[in-house]
């Protein structure tokens, strides 16, 4: 881990923060609550913001998270993913050690939460991964007024401006119409993106059966269990001819796999925020790049900082330079934490 860059002019605030939340090589550590937030290694007590593998790891002593996130972890790691699992619903406040802890929706994936720590009039919010635009598979981001707001910066460059998702889904449906003899194979991360693509297709009026790779089945069922209606789904098994004009959703790694050879002349699509970068689409052999991100783009990041206008902004990971500079130009104190171990889930 590189040394954090301190841009702090308020020594009183920094001293108070020392006991409330501080970045360490093992992640964000709350000394007075004796827990880590999204620790990259197994720890005694962890608060987990959401189920993506780089945030939710197996092997902690106790885990506190939303019921949805705990269910996702149980699905991915087995029921004994931690010694003790404690559900905390959005908006509920509990005392952990000497601090008060609550979770607020982050709008990233099902169950995703921002963790807010309150102690002696000081409020610190670690947002985890988040986005601000509507997502039919999860509850929208809820701004929590905070003295310190901790943000990611996966797409923290002004070039990243994600288009409206209805626009991208319409491009997919147009292509299906245009090539009725070909299959459309859409790469989408198994947790969150896949269900969002399916749900957006339904909202666009597509009510045909959508075929899914086996790796998505359990998470799809879990989303449905939590009330996200995905419509008619079926396993992607059958003869080649069955898939002409059909949409198949698969994890990104399956696109280049021999698995994909079972489909007739597939149009390869990939749903990711990175698809705005032409070189990335080319590199992956993607014919139909769909710019669909579960992370805030530049406008969402800067709008969020403007809206919350915290005393301090901490940037966990991603393109922190530009965002830090933007914050400072706009009168916000900002600090890059360079936390390691987090990557974008699409960026495998």
Among 23, 27, 51, 52, binds Zn ion (CB under 5 A): 52
* Half-sphere exposure of residue 243: CA atoms within 13 angstroms, side-chain side: 25
Least distance CB 53 / Zn ion (angstroms): 9
Interface with Zn ion, residue 60, by CB under 5 A? no
Beta partners for residue 313, in sequence order: 149, 334
Of the pair 147, 346, the CB lying nearest Zn ion is at: 346
**Do residues 271 and 197 make contact, with C-beta atoms less than 8 angstroms apart?**
yes
Among 129, 168, 297, 320, binds Zn ion (CB under 5 A): 129
**DSSP element (H, E) containing 223:** helix 217-225
Site for Zn ion in 305-334 (CB under 5 A): none
Of the candidates 251, 182, 260, the one whose C-alpha atom is nearest the C-alpha of residue 217 is 251
* Cα dihedral 61→189→192→337 (10° resolution): 60
Least distance CB 48 / Zn ion (angstroms): 11
Interface with Zn ion, residue 300, by CB under 5 A? no
The window from 122-130, 202-210, 302-310, 329-337 that contacts Zn ion (CB under 5 A) reads 122-130
The window from 18-26, 50-58, 99-107, 233-241 that contacts Zn ion (CB under 5 A) reads 50-58
Least distance CB 192 / Zn ion (angstroms): 7
DSSP 8-state code for residue 177: H
Other Cβ atoms within 10 Å of 323 Cβ, number = 25
Helix (H, G, I), strand (E, B) or coil at 310: coil
Strands, E, within 49-178: which ranges? 60-65, 82-87, 93-96, 99-105, 113-119, 122-126, 148-153
Least distance CB 267 / Zn ion (angstroms): 27
Of the pair 23, 266, the CB lying nearest Zn ion is at: 23
Residues within the interface to Zn ion (CB under 5 A)? 52, 129, 342
């Amino acid at each position: 881990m590189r040394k954090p860059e301190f841009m702090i002019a308020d020594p009183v605030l920094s001293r108070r923060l020392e006991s409330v939340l501080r970045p360490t090589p093992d992640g964000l550590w709350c000394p007075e609550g004796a827990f880590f937030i999204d620790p990259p290694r197994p720890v005694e007590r962890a608060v987990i913001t959401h189920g993506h593998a780089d945030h939710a790891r197996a092997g902690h002593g106790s885990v506190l998270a939303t019921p949805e996130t705990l269910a996702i972890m149980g699905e991915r790691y087995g029921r004994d993913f931690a010694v003790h699992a404690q559900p905390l619903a959005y908006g509920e406040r509990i005392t952990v050690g000497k601090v008060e802890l609550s979770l607020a929706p982050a709008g990233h994936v099902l169950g995703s939460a921002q963790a807010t720590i309150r102690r002696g009039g000081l409020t610190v919010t670690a947002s985890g991964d988040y986005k601000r635009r509507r997502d039919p598979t999860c509850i929208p981001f809820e701004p929590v007024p905070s003295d310190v707001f901790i943000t990611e910066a996966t797409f923290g460059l002004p070039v990243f401006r994600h288009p409206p998702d209805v626009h991208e889904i319409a491009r997919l449906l147009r292509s299906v119409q245009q090539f009725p003899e070909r299959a459309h194979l859409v790469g989408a991360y198994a947790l969150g993106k896949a269900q969002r693509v399916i749900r957006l297709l339904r909202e666009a009026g597509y009510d045909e059966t959508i075929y899914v790779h086996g790796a998505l089945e359990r998470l799809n069922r879990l989303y449905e269990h939590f009330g996200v209606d995905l419509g008619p789904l079926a396993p992607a098994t059958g003869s080649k001819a069955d898939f002409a004009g059909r949409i198949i959703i698969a994890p990104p790694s399956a696109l280049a796999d021999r698995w994909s050879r079972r489909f007739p002349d597939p149009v390869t699509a990939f749903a990711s925020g990175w698809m705005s970068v032409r070189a990335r689409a080319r590199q992956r052999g993607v014919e139909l790049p769909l710019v669909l991100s579960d992370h805030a783009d530049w406008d969402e990041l800067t709008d969020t900082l403007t809206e919350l206008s915290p005393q301090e902004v901490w940037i966990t990971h991603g393109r922190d330079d530009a965002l830090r500079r933007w914050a400072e130009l706009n009168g916000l104190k900002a600090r890059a934490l360079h936390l390691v171990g987090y990557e974008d889930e699409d960026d495998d």
